[in-house]
A and B are shown apart, each in its own frame.
Chain A
Amino acid sequence: MANDRVDFDLRRGEVHALLGENGAGKSTLMSVLYGLYRPDEGELRLGGEPVTIDSPRRAIELGIGMVHQHFMLVPVMTVAENIVLATEPRKGLLLDMDAAGRRVRELSDRFGLRVDPDARVADISVSQQQRVEILRALDRGADVLILDEPTAVLTAQEAAELFRILRTLTAEGKSIVFISHKLGEVLQIADRVSVLRRGRKVETVAAEGATEESLARMMVGRDVLFRVAKEASEPGPPLLEVHGLEVVDDRGLPAVRGVDLQVRVGEIVGIAGVDDNGQGELVETLTGLRRPQTGTITVDGRDVTGADVRGKLDAGIGHIAEDRHRRGLVLDFSLAENLCLRDYRHAPIARHGLISPRRMNERAAPLLDEYDVRGGSCDSLALSLSGGNQQKVVIAREISEDPKVLVAAQPTRGLDVGAIEFVHRRLIEQRDAGRGVLLVSLELEEIRSLSDRVLVIYDGRIVAELAPEASEEEFGVAMLGGRREAA
């Protein structure tokens, strides 16, 4: 049951946020409104009149437009062509592209959505593509816009720009359903918030007066700790030591330039930095997916500089990969198969080249239990799980390998608050169990709340070591490379 007796209403000129964890049923609910799924029971009314929406076409006729998370644009066509697609103005047998351009310009002026009608969609940025999607819905006469996780693909500035556009739209009398699992932005943009949990609506509240804590409680069903409590660390001897590491990226350009770092027993070392400053290459090198040009990597005194993935793993480096869909999981494998991705060749999983499903499940089942993986059993495919549960599978596997050092790259990316808390708690547990943790994240807040020491990476170099208590300004300066010039 993806939606269980959900009531939802949308007023003219409001932004109504639909908030919920992964798999809470937000997208299903909106798919019903857009005619992609039909409800088993219940009723839809538009302007007080009962309506049946059996197809997206019908939804469009009724003035409901949807902007999907994955844009439905034709990349090789221009902005104007995409917007008028299927309703093209004609001049005889030919398309009247001038009229199309005019139509697009009028729309974009009226709602303050700046786009270049003649640009090819393939050449414009993601946020502009999103505007094209919104314009297309408006062009079709949409009064109700459904935005499915619109900020997931945007930077902070682009999101702010989107919010400005949404306010213009509501001022024009349009109504907006804003699907999200990010608390902060929901409070920022929405007039009212409906929270879904496991297919049921928990409550609809006014955004005014609500707090992140109160919304999180509704979403997860209990109090959520945004900062996981932890004891002060008592670091022991060094576990992971990196000296003078230089790595090139896929194009052969230097990506990591002479990094020295150390992770000791019982500490979490954070690597803070703006995206694409060598973090990816650093992590890949530490975990054996990429070879360094120069430098040394030792684990517990043992040199593993040139070791491949298996060598690094055997030396005790665990890896929570940044992208669980691309790296961390084989989505078409069962959970049990995924849980043995790192040691499928060894006893007890495999003997004499043959894998025993029984022994595979015997190991997987307790892990799924221990890590509270919901929504699937040993035989379920990984792709059937929500993001948070998929990440639990990855973490369960990496920790069960009993690593000395755990390299956690963006371990909470795309997760909702409940899952984030779970991951954070696990990382601190690992630290307290005497392992070393190297946490690489783009979320400064995450780095600061978890790390015992923070290294700031900029342009492939460690430019500063800061205490997690250092001010946001100090971090900001260092993350933009300021500290190096100052020093």
Chain B
Amino acid sequence: MSEGEPQGTLTVASRLAGYLRGGGIVTPLLTALIAFFIGGLVVALTGSNPFTTYKAIFEGSGLNWLFPWISSEDRMLAALNLQQTLILTTPLILTGMAVAYAFRAGLFNIGGQGQYFAGLYIGVWVGSSLAGLPGFLHIALALVLGTLAGAVWGGIAGFLKASTGANEVISTIMLNYVALWVGVWAFGLGGPLHSDSPSERSVPISDPVVDDAKLPVFWGDPELQGLHVGFFIALAALGVFWVLLNRSVAGYEARAVGFNPDAAEYGGINAGRTYTKVMLSCGAFAGLAGAIDVLGWQFAVATNDIQNAGVVGAGFIGIAVALLGRNTTSGVLFSALLFGALINGTSVRNLDPTIFQPELATNLTLIIQGLIVLIVSAPVIVTTLYRLRPRRARAEEERA
């Protein structure tokens, strides 16, 4: 009771609910396992063998590179695959944080994609102009401005909530659309950022990032899209996120507002200002993701890519990353890696069509992703089903 959890033997339901509520690694692992299990059933339904399919996906992700026993020929291929996986993981780490930090402040940031677009656009604009600027400066400038653009885009939603009470779920979704269509217009034929190159006159695409502004590749062949240093920038940002959340005054305010806005007010914390600050930070993470992607491997922005990303882009996957990672630093890292591996492993290029139809493979990723979001929301379902009150209600009960 008040002196800790009751010691009597608990029923199965309350024990399960305890696992789901409690922190730790059990819940995310269970979640992922269940999602993969159901995904496997789907694979079996299509007439393929789930085990060989998952093995193929695993090898496609390049994670077998970590096994010391594979042959050197396999290792070469695995290295190439792993580089791609980590390239995809990089923006997911950042957009995962963009969603996770908002969650900690009690906000649902669905606008990671729009904030990512802001960083992407500014990144390609800066990266493709100002030729002749020294490489390091050029990269730094493009990354910083891309980050700021994302911050502004996120900050708008925070500011609207603070000043008018506009629900951030609605406003971030709308801002996603605004960002998407601004991009389609700007990079489309005749748009202000449409490529000036005569060969691209009829292609809706931006100018390419100049070579000096491209992020250096540190693993693999730059010609074969090796792993760029953006991966380390994302890891460094994870460190920043940890400090921000757990050690900074701003993070303390964000968590206080997220847990209990009334108590935060009593502590002298202005909830509105906190919402704006939090959304600025979230947008910064997502904007950085966009800038890194365009400077690291995309090198140009085409409108059909924008429209694709508007449906299944890194900003959206970031929601699943944050949910599975329980909004913690290490959780975001590992779930970003999981999703990066999954996307790369199921890509048409990597999956052998004799094992699983490649057209269905990407859908499999989406199914697993959707299942994870669903199951992560399940504690609520489970607790409701078993009529177990959340811990706050229990604590109140024990007060009397």
* Number of inter-chain CB pairs below 8 Å: 141
B266 interface residue per 8 A CB criterion: yes
Which of these, B2, B11, B266, B397, contacts A321 with CB under 8 Å? B266
**Proximity bits, A75-95, B CB within 8 Å = 1, else 0:** 000000000000000000000
Within 8 A of B (CB), among A337-383: 337, 341-342, 344-345, 350, 353-357, 375, 383
Minimum CB–CB distance from A307 to chain B (whole Å) comes to 11
Contact A25 B259 (CB under 8 A): no
Which of these, B3, B260, B265, B392, contacts A289 with CB under 8 Å? B265
Minimum CB–CB distance from B16 to chain A (whole Å) comes to 15
| B389: nearest chain-A partner, CB-CB | A70
Contact B249 A344 (CB under 8 A): yes
Contact A332 B260 (CB under 8 A): yes
Would A319 and B266 be within 8 Å (CB), given that A37-B10, A40-B9, A344-B249 are in contact?
A: yes
Which of these, B248, B262, B395, B400, contacts A326 with CB under 8 Å? B262
Contacts of A199 in B (CB 8 A): 3
A181, B387: Cα distance in complex, Å: 26
Stretch at the interface among B82-90, B250-258, B300-308, B312-320: B250-258
Minimum CB–CB distance from B366 to chain A (whole Å) comes to 33
Contact A72 B2 (CB under 8 A): no
Contact A23 B2 (CB under 8 A): yes
Contact B395 A333 (CB under 8 A): no
The SS class assigned to the A binding surface is loop
Contact B392 A383 (CB under 8 A): yes
A260 interface residue per 8 A CB criterion: no
Contact B391 A354 (CB under 8 A): no
Contact B1 A28 (CB under 8 A): yes
A384 interface residue per 8 A CB criterion: yes
Contacts of B400 in A (CB 8 A): 22, 69, 149, 152, 181, 387, 414
**Proximity bits, A22-45, B CB within 8 Å = 1, else 0:** 110101100110001111100000
Contact B260 A331 (CB under 8 A): yes
Contacts of A23 in B (CB 8 A): 1-3, 398
A390 interface residue per 8 A CB criterion: yes
A431, B396: Cα distance in complex, Å: 31
Stretch at the interface among A170-178, A308-316, A433-441: A308-316
Contact B11 A36 (CB under 8 A): yes
Would A331 and B9 be within 8 Å (CB), given that A23-B3, A313-B268 are in contact?
A: no
Number of interface residues of B (CB under 8 A): 39
Q: Which one of A25, A39, A345 has the greatest number of beta carbons of chain B within 10 Å?
A: A345
Would A333 and B256 be within 8 Å (CB), given that A70-B397, A319-B266, A341-B267 are in contact?
A: yes
| B264: nearest chain-A partner, CB-CB | A330
Minimum CB–CB distance from B390 to chain A (whole Å) comes to 11
B6 interface residue per 8 A CB criterion: yes
A158, B393: Cα distance in complex, Å: 24
A25, B8: Cα distance in complex, Å: 11
A321, B391: Cα distance in complex, Å: 22
Could you list some 21 contacts between A and B, CB below 8 A? A23-B3, A28-B1, A31-B8, A37-B9, A69-B397, A308-B268, A325-B399, A326-B260, A327-B263, A327-B266, A330-B255, A330-B263, A341-B256, A341-B266, A344-B249, A356-B247, A383-B391, A383-B395, A384-B395, A386-B398, A387-B400
- B residues at A contact (CB < 8 Å): 1-4, 6-11, 14, 243, 247-250, 252, 255-256, 259-260, 262-268, 387, 389, 391-393, 395-400
